[in-house]
Chain A
Amino acid sequence: MLEIRNLHARIVDDGTEIIRGLNLTVKAGEVAAIMGPNGSGKSTLSYILAGREDYEVTEGDILYNGQSILEMDPAERATSGIFLAFQYPMEIPGVATMEFLKVAMNEQRKARGQEPLKIPEFLKRVKEAAASLSMDMAMLKRPLNVGFSGGEKKRAEILQMKLLEPKLCVLDETDSGLDIDALKIVSDGVNALRAPDRAFLVITHYQRLLEHIVPDSVHVLYRGQVIKSGDKSLALDLEANGYAGVIGEAA
């Protein structure tokens, strides 16, 4: 489903290279965990997948279902099924969460040639999704992410993911800022979405999340490269011994 080939990318503003020859393949139905120390380029990778203009790809390619997505803008990528749950979701003052959901869902439907959702159907879907994440409908009347706690923001990201039904879900440190109960709810939400035609890229620091969302593969990102790949036992190993060993091995 996703194939990243020898990807090199730099910051447009100052030319610093952040991603330096990254290779990664994720199959449909797979849950791939991306781990790595702070500053190794995990968030940058997620932004580049989503099409953020601050970064420029200088070499390599990103294939999604066999097609390069480098020329697509963020909205086109989203419509084609790529979803990013942000590490730091943005606040959108004055735009009720509910309104935002409706615009996003209908924009995506429109791009796919579908009719906009009728209000009752829309409300039904939102209510169900919110209930499954133990979110209060009253919260959805508030402007998106404005004044939301860290945990609420993360839940709101997963709510959007549920409603938009993407095919490639990139979760950037969705576990940070969540207490144990919230972590369980969010993980259950993600697990419920696991499907043979859907892939996940789960970026995290901690084994903790991977106990709930059990990955099929684990990849260690360091200085803009995948330096080691393995199965879920690799995450346990990292938890026990830290990154130093893996980094040393690769050097």
Chain B
Amino acid sequence: MPAVQDTIDRVRKIDVDQYKYGFQTEIAVDKAPKGLSEDIIRFISAKKDEPSWMLEWRLEAYRRWLTLEEPTWARVNYPKIDFQDIYYYAAPKSTPGPTSLSDVDPEILKVYEKLGIPLKEQEILAGVQKTDASDLEEPSDNVYKSGRVAVDAVFDSVSVVTTFKKELAQAGVIFCSISEAIREHPELVQKYLGSVVPTSDNFYATLNSAVFTDGSFVFVPKGVRCPMELSTYFRMNEKNTGQFERTLIIAEEGAYVSYLEGCTAPQRDENQLHAAVVELVALDDAEIKYSTVQNWYPGDAEGKGGIYNFVTKRGDCRGHRSKISWTQVETGSAITWKYPSCILRGDDSSGEFYSIAVSNGYQQVDSGTKMIHLGKNTSSRIISKGIAAGFSQNTYRGQVSAHRKATNARNFTNCDSLLIGDQCGAHTVPYMEAKNSTAQFEHEATTSKISEDQKFYVMQRGIPEEEAIALIVNGFVKDVIQQLPMEFAVEAQKLIGISLEGSVG
């Protein structure tokens, strides 16, 4: 396990403060005035040069949002958010929209460099092939062979650059910021936007629909296998600014795409709000793999600051035999409220949810999935690994339901929780509902503690305590890590190690 080795090195370098992405960057910004109103929405829409239908859509969502109450059912506690005390738009001044790399503010490029996100295509092309212990393992089929990843970089409210656009275009793949898609591909956006997560869906999704500022758009046409991994990297830089990104991915008949999402934010004492909406549409025989490594700032050791992460992610297996797979590694945020879900509408469609949620310090995680079986012979699989340390609370919340017509719906759920220390909590809240007698649902759940016996055994081989725990934890999450594309798998293992730093002793 090379990552353990790396984790150790990394952790050593970070002394008191464990969050290495906490730096701030001084960049001239263009901001909307604080607060939310129809005028602010008009301001955002105008900044983005949007067609009038888009503005109307936003305003309708806003009016709806005014009638909604913030949900309270999740097992998370936080002071009431003042939605008028947030900036809803912040854009680096020099970058009015996605441009070529040479137009991007060098300060922003430096940020991505610090974060280790390659934006220069030639560097990515030169991509160093890993030569670690992975050759000891059976290569899994999800390993992305060519080692190239196209990146869309979103900085606060705008996408600053998208790489490999030309090459993707040759394959017929559209990969751009959602703002650009609204201008350049309005027919596609109008057809699919809000078709999976309607504007009226829930409090945060409705808010997002009103004020979303940027995000990524992916369209993979019929029969095309996207020639490379696509990825968006979200960075929240500005103080008191909400990030409301909107991502829309469409895979037409027989298409395949694998998409990665990564996020970080500077370390600040104030809480910052992140309310994203992600919609996936898979038509007949299409497959979408969506992976997230979420590492928003979690707050300090006393629980001060950190990101509130209220996210609505949903995939619609609209076509027959379509497949949507969510994989998430959640290590950051003060509060996580997130349930990537699948609507299994097409016959023989399948949905997967693989999750690792790590909480430490005073983090609160309430995450899980919904698998809604509507079509015949649909199947779903849920593997959730929750790891709680420090004073954190970690809840898995899942819903599996089979509609009356969903004959032979099958689900397998496995939720394992691992506790480190005795001040933290892990909770499992599964809902199962079958309106069809042929449905077969299977549920397994375990909660365990890292045993002293195990830790002693590992340490007896000369492995120091922190590394021993990282090793045991990485073993615990292995099933999920294996689902990630290789680049992210290594990163994810490191992150888990770093997140658990300070959890022992």
Contact = CB atoms under 8 A, between A and B. Distances in A.
Interface string A60-95: 000000000000011101110001101001111111
A91 B450 CA distance: 12
A164 interface: yes
A169 to B, nearest CB: 12
Given A94-B479, A100-B471, A73 B465 contact: yes
Nearest to A83: B460
Central interface residue in B136, B452, B458, B461, by most chain A CB within 10 Å: B461
A47 B457 CA distance: 10
B128 interface: no
Interface string B464-505: 110110011011111100000000000000000000000000
Given A78-B462, A92-B475, A106 B457 contact: no
> Which DSSP category, helix, strand, loop or mixed, fits chain A's interface?
helix
Interface stretch (A22-30, A48-56, A198-206, A210-218): A48-56
B476 A75 contact: no
B133 interface: yes
Contacts of A53: 452, 456
A77 B459 CA distance: 9
Nearest to A74: B459
B1 interface: yes
Contact of A111 (B457, B462, B475, B476): B462
Contacts of A73: 459, 464-465
Given A95-B474, A103-B5, A75 B452 contact: no
Given A75-B462, A94-B478, A104-B461, A116 B453 contact: no
B471 A103 contact: yes
A99 B3 CA distance: 11
Given A103-B467, A164-B462, A92 B457 contact: yes
Contacts of B136: 96, 98-99, 102, 119, 123, 141
A188 interface: no
A143 interface: yes
Contact of A103 (B1, B453, B465, B479): B1
Nearest to B133: A102
Chain B, interface size category, equals: 20 to 34
B141 interface: no
A103 B472 CA distance: 12
A120 B460 CA distance: 25
A164 B461 contact: yes
Contact of A119 (B133, B138, B472, B474): B133
A38 to B, nearest CB: 20
A103 B463 contact: yes
B437 interface: no
B302 interface: no
Contacts of B123: none
Given A75-B465, A84-B460, A92 B472 contact: yes
A218 to B, nearest CB: 25
A104 B461 CA distance: 6
B492 to A, nearest CB: 14
Nearest to B475: A94
B266 to A, nearest CB: 33
Given A95-B472, A103-B4, A119-B135, A75 B479 contact: no
Contact of B462 (A94, A108, A119): A108
Nearest to B468: A75
A160 interface: yes
B94 interface: no
Contacts of A141: 136-138
A98 B459 CA distance: 17
B454 interface: yes
Contacts of B475: 92-95, 143
A79 B464 CA distance: 10
Given A94-B475, A103-B5, A116-B5, A50 B460 contact: yes
Contact of A90 (B137, B453, B474, B479): B453
A17 interface: no
Contacts of A93: 475-476, 478
- The 4 A-B pairs of least Cβ separation, nearest first, read A94-B475, A94-B478, A95-B475, A78-B462
22 contacts: A53-B452, A73-B465, A74-B459, A74-B460, A75-B459, A75-B465, A78-B460, A78-B463, A79-B462, A83-B460, A86-B457, A90-B454, A90-B458, A91-B454, A93-B475, A96-B136, A96-B137, A98-B136, A107-B463, A116-B5, A119-B132, A143-B475
Interface of B: 1, 4-5, 131-133, 135-138, 451-454, 456-465, 467-468, 471-472, 474-479
